[in-house]
Amino acid sequence: MGTVAVVIWMVFLCCCSAAQGQRRQLRFDGKTGEFRILQVADMHYADGKRTRCEDVFPQQMATCSDLNTTAFIRRLILAEKPDLIVFTGDNIFGFDATDAASSMNAALEPAVSSNIPWAAVLGNHDQESALSREGVMKHIVGMKNTLSQLNPPEAHVIDGYGNYNLEVHGVEGSSLANKSVLNLYFLDSGDYSNVPLIPGYDWIKPSQQLWFQRTSAKLQRSYLNKPEPQKGPAPGLAYFHIPLPEFANFDSSNFTGEKQEGISSASVNSGFFTTMVTAGDVKAVFTGHDHLNDFCGELTGIHLCYAGGFGYHAYGKAGWARRARMVVASLEKMDKGTWGAVKSIKTWKRLDDKHLTGIDGEVLWSKSSRQKRMLR
């Protein structure tokens, strides 16, 4: 390769790196002061048009397939205009996917083609086709517009595939432009227990919890120190697939949404909920796995939330619309029209009906309520 060609290639690589860096920098919108997250849980995608739907009315069966799942995502993206799309596992249904890579490409195509940043974690079914669990996550990491990571580079020994964090910085040009004002944690909750005496689903391991603790502490130190030190940690949100045992603490009197099936958590409690409470920054946890549950309930200052079943090849309930969860964090409006730290975090769900009906809107966290608690 000649000198000129080498220079051209180096310039090309630098431009690509710069563009990738821009894509990877999540930031609050300077006009609205918002950051919008769309959560998609349990697509169970298989082979597209050839894949039959489950749990729909008989008259829907002839024309219903994975393509209904794709159409739902596209409608949501257009309606909600998210800044980040998060897929919380069972993205494909491995047993019915002829080719895991092709199914994953088709399932995630609406996010990829939208040019909106997206992130994913694995569920308990993603690896049940030709690709191993590691192989599926490596494939996801190699796709366009994704912020997904196999595992954090600083964590040399960590269980699972897909443990990472994303920082959401303040508005460009504001005093918090170079600080993460919203921290997103993604964890691999595993698939099935490999301990013979412990049946059922997997759990978040000590190595993952140690990584979370160290990451949370590092982010909090950075946020609380100069320049522009803040009072209290930046709020955090956690995304993974299998619900924690603590999800079973709720009944119809203390949650918003519906609980139509049991909580399919691990049969052992790994203590991750206590780890998050101790860390002090996580305000809400978002999972999938139990398709007929879509509730949010607060326990010890943390909201535990289901998204509700999304995919048409996943089990559901005829007449109970497939759904997705939106989360919107809003910044505080400061003097002279500038934006400050996160003021509130709200959520609602969108149904796959004629009007994309929004339901169960609620405030998960607000700066004012935190300040009131501190004054007590």
Q: What is the pLDDT of residues 22-55, one digit of tens each?
A: 447 999 999 999 999 999 999 999 999 999 999 9
Rounded Cα–Cα distance for residues 139 and 192 (Å): 21
Whether 55 is covered by a domain: the verdict is yes
Whether 273 is covered by a domain: the verdict is yes
Q: Which amino acid is at 301?
A: G
Q: What pTM does this model have? A: 0.92
Please tell me the predicted confidence (pLDDT) of residue 370. 58
Answer for the pair 191, 244: CB distance below 8 angstroms, yes or no: no
Residue with tokens 């995608």: 45
How is residue 31 written in tokens?
């006009």
Backbone angles phi and psi of 314, in degrees to 5: -95, 155
Please tell me the predicted confidence (pLDDT) of residue 15. 40
Sheet holding 323-333, edge to edge: 118-121, 84-88, 34-40, 323-333, 339-351, 358-366
Q: Which residues of the chain have pLDDT under 50?
A: 1-23, 372-376
Q: What is the DSSP string of 285-340?
A: EEE-S-TTB--EEEETTEEEEE-----TTS--BTTB--EEEEEEEEEEE-GGG-EE
Backbone angles phi and psi of 37, in degrees to 5: -120, 125
In CATH, what number is assigned to the domain containing residue 99? 3.60.21.10
Please tell me the predicted confidence (pLDDT) of residue 17. 38
Please tell me the predicted confidence (pLDDT) of residue 336. 79
Whether 8 is covered by a domain: the verdict is no
DSSP H or E stretch at residue 344: strand 339-351
Cβ count within 10 A of residue 335? 6
Please tell me the predicted confidence (pLDDT) of residue 50. 93
Which of 216, 167, 168 is closest to 35 using CA atoms? Answer: 168
Backbone CA torsion sign across 244, 249, 253, 254: negative
Whether 7 is covered by a domain: the verdict is no
Answer for the pair 163, 155: CB distance below 8 angstroms, yes or no: yes
Whether 62 is covered by a domain: the verdict is yes
Task: Give the chain's domain count.
Answer: 1
Whether 26 is covered by a domain: the verdict is no
Domain of residue 146 covers 31-375
Rounded Cα–Cα distance for residues 122 and 107 (Å): 13
Q: Which amino acid is at 156?
A: H
How is residue 364 written in tokens?
């998960």
- How many alpha carbons lie under 13 Å from residue 308 in its C-beta half-sphere? 24
Answer for the pair 252, 259: CB distance below 8 angstroms, yes or no: yes
